Structure 1
Amino acid sequence: MSNADTNEAVQGELVTTGTEALEALNRSEVDIQIATAHRFPRSVDLFQKRATALACMTKAIAGSMFYSVPRGGKRIIGPSIRLAEVVASTWGNLRCACRNIGEDDLTVTSIGMCHDLETNVAITMEYALRITDKKGKRYNEDMIVLAKNNASARGLRNAIFRVVPRAYVDEVCESAKKIAVGDGATMVTIRENLLKWFADQGATEAQVLHLIGKEGVPDIDTNDVIFMRAVATGIKQGEQTVAEAFGPVPDPRKKARISPLNDSVGAADKPPEPEEAEEPEEPEEPEEAEAIAEPGPDLVTDCTVALAEAGTLLEIQAVRERFVGAKPGPSAEDLKVIHEMCDRANKTIRAGRGEGSNAQ
């Protein structure tokens, strides 16, 4: 046998031996974990007490245990990634992992794995997340990294909730909802705090009331508060954006130009009344908030619409430059409000990347 053949044989033998040794090591680690799990089995009663205690520690923590997203024209409320972390740590005897497995022009795909060492039930879940905006434009590199992290977290969440019985998870989630809402004595404060938080994200009071289907703030009840907290958690955890949750800001000037006949029965069957000649100075505004046009007289409202559609720091900067340099120029008061809204939008984007304070 030649030296070349000998070297190839030795190298092949070493590779095979190394692979088998690694597999044996992994098997031994899992076997030890399974044996330990059988020596120290979990207590479901203890799990429920610990998970509920962690999930309901404060109102802020309780509010992060569930989220809401729009699906098929409906709003879905479900247990969040934060609740999955609580469940995994208190259920015990679990092996969990997640990683990215693919990326193409439209989506990134991650996989989450959860293995119950006591029952030997192991489930893996894939999660694909879109990396393009509504116009089909691909995200920048920072946003793609954020999307990969979100996809991994969601895949892990889904795997954990497939292994741990959902009946136990839902019970903890319901307890968290009750703590998040509070009692009747604090309902006024809870409403104000929620509306203020949404306003800081760029959503108006009218948009919030339209989303929950109520006429005024005093009409907001306990179920509405649960739903509003779920929407807020969905925004914090990246399940949806403010624009996706609320849509564009309604323009009160358009509503004022609608004929009173449209409010009567059967008005839907009639064509809209033409604009009156007394208002020629008001240009017709575009239907979509993201259309590029010269700002109208209500710069603050138009700026709010544009910021609701902005998803990156560059887009927010473009909005700032567009409205600060508008002709005719904004008043000093409007200029201050425009800068404040843009600063809040920048803060929200950075918080989503982990550059600011931790918001989901």
Structure 2
Amino acid sequence: MQAAQPIPMPTRVGQGTAVEQSRAVAEVQAAIVVAQQCPRDIAGAVAQMNDSCQQKALAERAFFRFPRAGQTVSGPSVHLARELARCWGNVQYGVSELRRDDEIGQSEMQAWAWDVQTNTRSSSTFIVPHKRDTKKEGPKPLTDMRDVYENNANNGARRLREAIFSILPPWFVEEAKELCNKTLADGGGKTVAQRAAEAIAEFQKGGVTRDQLEAKLNRKVASWTHHDIAQLEVIFTSLQRGEVTKDEEFPAERLGDEAFEPAPAPPKPEPTPAEKAADEEWMAGGAS
């Protein structure tokens, strides 16, 4: 039996493919040349970062929250990562869908970030199943094209966030996080009472009561601080983005002061004369 001959691969590259390959090579070479000719100004990058993190619009989107294994995970978001990459300069990043298999129901994707000046690159290739986890029904297959796109984009954003943060200096990221927290806690010139009233009103539109907010912070509204309200703003933004649900953040409503101070144990009643006599008789019998 004669062995099957391998199928010959085409050796001629199409004109469009050749142009795209040449363009990609030229872009990489140009980026390296520009980075060498215009190196980043670290002092200027820090100044831009300070200015950006003092803007409330960025600070409100700078952190994320989502549930995992019965706990809530939080940290700096991809929105902050992209802004810090812009401030740091000479950084390129992106997310690509390398291959999609609708029969198996998965996409092969890659997230990458590249510091062109130092030639530091971080990339991650990963598989995204076309499924969405649900608590009641388990993994649910996605068939709608928009659902698949949004699922891929969400998974890609998480990897992109880590890729960007891995090439940025840790001190640069930590300073940005601290500044964003200060911006959230500042209040934009409003008093704590004003911010508290606005926060309660916004949460009530979504069905979250004042008692639930007090239980979440473990203190009454009159004792709230700017930092407490900043925490509520992060939770509110995560609720709007669908990172967490109302039931996960506010699982049960606790009412009144009992939510903050445990009720004292009731006093133990004094034994009656008959009970005292029975105890003495039992002790006497046990001793003998």
How high is the TM-score relative to the length of structure 1?
A: 0.58
Given residue 78 of structure 1, which amino acid in structure 2 is its aligned partner?
G
Cα shift at 1:240 = 2.2
Given residue 181 of structure 1, which amino acid in structure 2 is its aligned partner?
A
> Does the 8 Å contact 1:112/1:158 carry over to 2?
no
CA distance in 2, matches of 1:134, 1:90: 40
SS in 2 for 1:67: strand
The structure whose Rg is larger is 2
- In the alignment, is residue 198 of structure 1 matched against residue 200 of structure 2? no
CA change 1:109–1:222 in 2 (3 A) is farther
How high is the TM-score relative to the length of structure 2?
A: 0.71
- In the alignment, is residue 85 of structure 1 matched against residue 82 of structure 2? yes
> Does the 8 Å contact 2:215/2:254 carry over to 1?
no
CA change 1:38–1:146 in 2 (3 A) is same
Q: Tell me the equivalent position of 1:124.
A: 123
Q: Tell me the equivalent position of 1:45.
A: 43
> Does the 8 Å contact 2:53/2:183 carry over to 1?
no
Q: Tell me the equivalent position of 1:220.
A: 224
> Does the 8 Å contact 1:88/1:94 carry over to 2?
yes
Percent pairwise identity: 24
Q: Tell me the equivalent position of 1:14.
A: 12
Cα shift at 1:107 = 8.1
SS in 1 for 2:133: coil
> Does the 8 Å contact 1:100/1:110 carry over to 2?
yes
CA change 1:139–1:17 in 2 (3 A) is closer
Given residue 202 of structure 2, which amino acid in structure 1 is its aligned partner?
W
Number of residues of Structure 1 aligned to a counterpart in Structure 2: 247
CA distance in 2, matches of 1:89, 1:200: 36
Cα deviation code 1:179-218 (max 9, x no counterpart): 222268611111222222222223222222222232x212
CA change 1:187–1:251 in 2 (3 A) is closer
SS in 2 for 1:240: coil
CA distance in 1, matches of 2:34, 2:238: 37
The structure whose RCO (Cα within 8 Å, separation 6+) is larger is 2
- What RMSD, in angstroms, separates the aligned Cα atoms of the two structures? 3.6
Cα shift at 1:119 = 0.8
Q: Tell me the equivalent position of 2:135.
A: 134
Cα deviation code 1:93-125 (max 9, x no counterpart): 112111345689998775321011011111113
Matches within 5 A, 1:169-318: 169-182=173-186, 186-214=191-219, 216-247=220-251, 249-250=252-253, 263=263, 265=265
Cα shift at 1:148 = 2.4
SS in 1 for 2:47: helix
Cα shift at 1:265 = 4.2
CA distance in 2, matches of 1:236, 1:190: 19
CA change 1:126–1:242 in 2 (3 A) is farther
> Does the 8 Å contact 1:100/1:152 carry over to 2?
no
SS in 2 for 1:232: helix
Cα shift at 1:168 = 0.6
Given residue 138 of structure 1, which amino acid in structure 2 is its aligned partner?
K
Q: Tell me the equivalent position of 1:159.
A: 163
> Does the 8 Å contact 2:58/2:80 carry over to 1?
no
Given residue 29 of structure 2, which amino acid in structure 1 is its aligned partner?
D
Q: Tell me the equivalent position of 2:29.
A: 31
Given residue 185 of structure 2, which amino acid in structure 1 is its aligned partner?
V
More helix by share: 1
Given residue 169 of structure 2, which amino acid in structure 1 is its aligned partner?
P
Cα deviation code 1:65-105 (max 9, x no counterpart): 22333445544432122212211222111121113456899
Q: Tell me the equivalent position of 1:112.
A: 111
SS in 1 for 2:134: coil
Q: Tell me the equivalent position of 1:286.
A: none
SS in 2 for 1:113: strand
CA distance in 1, matches of 2:234, 2:198: 14
Cα shift at 1:225 = 2.2
Which deviates more from structure 2 when the two are superposed, residues 125-134 or residues 144-153? 125-134
Cα shift at 1:16 = 9.1
CA distance in 2, matches of 1:208, 1:244: 13
> Does the 8 Å contact 2:35/2:90 carry over to 1?
yes
